[in-house]
């Protein structure tokens, strides 16, 4: 079993000293774990301040880019963890999430937190995916 870490340029860079993606080779499958994604652009600026739908869409765009870099897609996601700063806005988040995931119904945990690591962030999302396809060429 091998673990590799990735920070592809197709998604915003990590906000601190960590990797965006951990990829674990399980033989016939690969486990892909993404760090929490927040609505920060490549310059570290909050995207869509106060706008849950805009932040959620930005985060799912980043997740799609990170998964694609490892030869995966949203259909491969088996678990989503979401941290909201205001549970009263769950429906706004959920509308974008359902539109992005389509028929996929991965396991899920959603919790309310008192705040996130940057003022203006409304949510953070991390995912786990399982992929049976080989990794893309380096």
Residue 83 has pLDDT above 90, yes or no: yes
Q: Tokens representing 70? A: 């490892």
Give strand ranges (E) for 35-122.
77-84, 107-112
Q: What's the pLDDT score for residue 55?
A: 98
CA-based Rg of the chain, rounded to a whole angstrom? 15
pLDDT digits (tens, 9 = 90+) for 90-124: 999 999 999 999 999 999 999 999 999 999 999 99
3-class secondary structure, 103: coil
CA pair distance 138, 134, nearest whole angstrom: 12
Residue 76 has pLDDT above 80, yes or no: yes
Tell me what the mean pLDDT of segment 6-15 comes to: 82
CA 110 to chain centre: 13
Q: Tokens representing 26? A: 């399980």
Residue corresponding to tokens 């486990």: 31
CA pair distance 23, 72, nearest whole angstrom: 11
Question: Which carries the bigger pLDDT value, residue 135 or residue 115?
Answer: 115
Domain covering 2-131, topology: 60s Ribosomal Protein L30; Chain: A; (3.30.1330)
Backbone φ/ψ region at 21: left (φ over 0), alpha (ψ -120 to 50), beta = beta
**pTM for this entry:** 0.92
Q: What's the pLDDT score for residue 138?
A: 66
Contact 21, 6 (CB under 8 A): yes
Residue 137 has pLDDT above 80, yes or no: no
pLDDT digits (tens, 9 = 90+) for 17-74: 889 999 999 989 999 999 999 999 988 899 999 999 999 999 999 999 999 999 999 9
Q: Where are the domains of the chain?
A: 2-131
């Amino acid at each position: 079993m091998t673990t590799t870490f990735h920070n592809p340029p197709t998604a915003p860079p990590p906000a601190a000293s960590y990797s965006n993606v951990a990829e674990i080779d399980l033989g016939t499958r690969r486990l892909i774990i993404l760090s929490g994604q927040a609505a920060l652009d490549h310059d570290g600026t909050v995207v869509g301040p106060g706008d849950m739908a805009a932040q959620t869409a930005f985060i799912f765009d980043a997740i799609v880019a990170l998964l694609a870099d490892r030869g995966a897609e949203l259909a491969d996601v088996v678990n989503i963890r979401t941290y909201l700063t205001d549970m009263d806005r769950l429906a706004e988040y959920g509308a974008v999430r359902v539109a992005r995931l389509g028929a996929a119904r991965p396991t899920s945990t959603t919790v309310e937190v008192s705040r996130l690591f940057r003022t203006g962030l409304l949510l953070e999302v991390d995912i786990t995916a399982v992929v049976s396809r080989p990794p893309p060429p380096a």
